[in-house]
Structures are given as C-alpha cells and as structure tokens.
Amino acid sequence: MKQIEVGIIGTGWCGGIRAEACAANPLVKALHIVESRPERLAEMQAKTGAKTASADYRDLLKNRNVEAVFVCATPETTHYPMAMEALLAGKHVFLEKPIAMDLDEADELIAIAKRSKLKFTIGYSQRFNPKYAYCKKVIADGTLGQPVSALVSRHITRGLGKKISGRTKLSPAAMEATHDLDFVLWCLEPAKPVRVYSQTVHRVMAATNPLVPDCQWIVVTMDNGVVFTVGAGWILPPGYPNFSSTWIEIVGSEGAVMVDDTHRDVMLNTMGKGMMLPMSTMPGESVGHVYAGSMAPETIHFVEAVAYDRPVMVTPESARTVMELYMAADLSAERNMPVDLPLSNEATVALAAAGARA
C-alpha cells in the first residue's frame, strides 16, 4: 500500500472536514495544514495530529514530501493563484469550486496540470451522494429510456446565504446552483449545453446588498434537445445546521426518477433547542463511526486517485463547462434574454464589464 503526504490549505468548515477525513485514512502517511486564524490552526492540529501547521501556504508548497494539496481557502478569489502555485510546485490539486473567477484562469490551470501530468479536480461533492449517483445510473443503463427533461430545486438558509454572498460577488448560480449544473451535465454526458436563459429575484437580500439576488432560476437547452431547469436560493428561514433542501425530477421516454433530498427524514426535538434537522447540510457531518454526507467520500476519492494513480471523478474540463454555463446564466439574467454557448468574445467582455460594475 502506497502512502502519501497530504496538505490542506484552509481548515474552515469544508477544509476541516477534509483534514479530518485525511487524518483518519491509512493512505495518508502525514497531514500538513495551513490556516490563517491562529486559534483554528491550533484546534485543527490538535484534532488531526497534523505533522506541520502553518499560517503561510507557501510553506506547504515548499515541502517536497507533500504530493497532494487540497485548496479550501476563502474567499473564492484565492482559488486560482493558490491552485496555480501548487500545480507549478508539482503537487496534485483538489480545488474547491469554483475552478477560477474567469475562463482564462480556468484554461491556464487546466493547461499547467496537463503539461505537468498532475491530477487536478474540482469539489463537486454531490457526485458522491448515493441518491445523485443513482440518478446517473438509471440514465446510463437505459432504465429511463431517452432523457427528456430534468428539474433541480435547491435552497439553503439565509444565514448561510448572507455568509456566502458577503465574501464574494458570485451569484447563486455560481455558488449554489453550480453543484446541480454539474450534476445534470454529468447525468446527460456526452450532451453539451447550447443555450441558457436565467432570471433572478431581488427582494430579501436587497435590504442589505442590492447586488445579491434572493434566488436564481436557470433553463438550459442541450445539443440533443433535452431541456433542464435548475433553481437555487439562499433565503430559507433558519434551520439546523445551515439547512439545505433539494428536490430532483428527471423524466425520460420510458420512466422518471424523483429524489427527495430535503433532509426532513430525521428530526430531533429537545426542550432546550426545539426542533432540529440533523445531518441536513450539503457537506455532511461525522456521526460517530460513520460520515453522513458526500464530502468525506469525495476527499478519500482524491487521496486514492493520487495514491493508486487512478482517474479523478470530476475533470477540470467538466468544471470549466459548468463555469461557462453559470457565467452565461448571469449574463442572461442581466440582459433578460437567452445566451448561446459557447460564450463569444463579446459575451465574455460583457461579463467582465458587469463584474467591474459590481
């Protein structure tokens, strides 16, 4: 059994989950962590037994023993420079979504990884959710016949929505619907998106930030005629903890599959805190000796891909397609008209101008 040394850059919510998953895996010979907050750094080093702990991610990149790096830092603007430096340092890279802030950055990261023959993947964890994997299976094996349409509706609490929207200019399409865009495109492979139409609603979030939509709905036409809709919002009333509610419908010529991923199947009610919905987050959480959710299995998948030289589940090329799709959705919402794919140079310039205005 080959063991590898792994580094985690950023040990917040998601990075902390990945650090703990790596620390517990026998394929990981040693764990190295990077965190800018001293108290969190000390906490995670104690919890994981990390071999090294630093506030500077370049310390990790200089370590020749580290083969694989998870880039989990925020804000999202740090993803491209950190991933680029890690790839240039010869490290295999797992990068939390989004892959970059613009398509040129994404293309550069993909080119560096290919040139250096390094594994490079993006954190679309819902592919590791058994319910989602089942949808992929019944499409791939022909159970549903020819795909006709799909619908995914995802909503999270406004507390988490304010936290996410407060640290980035990215839209619900880029930060929430992105998971579902990736999921549906994965299910419909090798079909490609050719047209996008999107609308946003500004009502609740506008009181504190007029640029942040409450929700965004996206209609996508594929080159094989399939049409799918993805909606994402972040203004649900408070839930526990950071409640995420998703509903999926996929209809084919010979059948349909409906998936309830609303996390209302387990309820806890106490005198002290009232009703709670445990195990209700997208990343998931540890439950004793098991893990409820998709982020830990996704983390181990990347470790195994590096240790055993296996392909990664999410290619950077597919993440780039998702990025182009949600960029087109944002442009469609701004222009109030459909946008064709692939994005033209004119459309890319318009997106950059919109970003500058924001």
pLDDT in tens, 275-288: 889 999 989 999 99
Q: Please report how many Cα atoms fall inside a 13 Å half-sphere around the Cα of residue 142, on the Cβ side.
A: 0
Write down the pTM of the prediction.
Answer: 0.94
Q: Tokens standing for 68?
A: 């694989």
Per-domain residue ranges of the chain:
4-118+305-314, 127-282+319-340
Q: 197 - beta bridge partners? A: 219
pLDDT at 232: 97
pLDDT above 60 for 358: no
pLDDT at 176 over 90: yes
Tens of pLDDT, residues 42-88? 999 999 999 999 999 999 999 999 999 999 999 999 999 999 999 99
Give the pLDDT score at 275: 87
Fold of 127-282+319-340: Dihydrodipicolinate Reductase; domain 2 (3.30.360)
The candidate with the shortest Cα–Cα distance to 260, out of 78, 129, 142, is 129
Identical fold for domains 4-118+305-314 and 127-282+319-340, yes or no, is no
**pLDDT over 90 percentage in the chain:** 85
For the segment 261-272, what is each residue's pLDDT rounded down to a tens digit? 999 899 999 999
The residue among 277 and 143 whose pLDDT is bigger is: 143
pLDDT digits (tens, 9 = 90+) for 180-211: 999 999 999 999 999 999 999 999 998 888 88
Q: How far is CA 160 from CA 57, 97, 121, 172, 185, in A?
A: 26, 17, 25, 12, 26
pLDDT at 355 over 70: no
What's the pLDDT score for residue 357? 60
Cα-atom radius of gyration of the chain, to the nearest Å?
Answer: 20
Mean model confidence pLDDT for the chain: 94
Is the confidence at residue 252, as pLDDT, over 70?
yes
Query: In this model, does residue 353 exceed pLDDT 70?
Result: no
Cβ-proximal residues to 150 (8 Å cutoff; 6+ apart), any chain:
184, 187, 188, 226, 228, 229, 248, 249, 250, 251
Q: Give the model's confidence band at 141: pLDDT under 50 very low, under 70 low, under 90 confident, else very high.
A: very high
Per-position b or e across 191-222, b if 16+ CB within 10 A of its CB = eebebbbbebbeebbeeeeeebbbbbbbbbbb
CATH of 4-118+305-314, one of 3.40.50.300, 3.40.50.720, 3.20.20.60, 3.40.50.1100: 3.40.50.720
CA-to-CA separations, 108 to 26, 87, 325, in angstroms, rounded? 33, 11, 18
pLDDT of 14? 96
Stretch 294-319: mean pLDDT: 98
Beta bridge pairs of residue 201? 215
CA-to-CA distance for 289 and 291, rounded, in angstroms? 7
User: What are the helix (H) ranges across 72-202?
Assistant: 79-88, 103-116, 130-140, 158-167, 172-175, 177-187
Instruction: Name the DSSP class of 78.
Output: G
Q: What is the pLDDT of residue 168?
A: 73
Q: Is 274 exposed, middle or buried (0-12, 13-18, 19+ CB in 10 A)?
A: exposed
| Residue pair 248/135 in contact by the 8 Å Cβ criterion | yes
Confidence (pLDDT) at 208: 85
Question: How far apart are alpha carbons 129 and 282 in whole angstroms?
Answer: 9
Answer for the pair 124, 305: CB distance below 8 angstroms, yes or no: no
Q: Which helix (H) or strand (E) covers residue 352, if one does?
A: helix 345-357
| 169-175 average pLDDT score | 90
- Average pLDDT, integer, range 174-185: 96
Higher pLDDT, 166 or 120: 120
Q: Which residues contact 342 (CB under 8 A, 6 or more apart)?
A: 324
CA separation (Å) from 249 to 63, 151, 210, 230, 320? 47, 5, 32, 11, 25
The pLDDT, as a whole number, for residue 162 is 86
Q: How many CB atoms lie within 10 A of CB 349?
A: 11
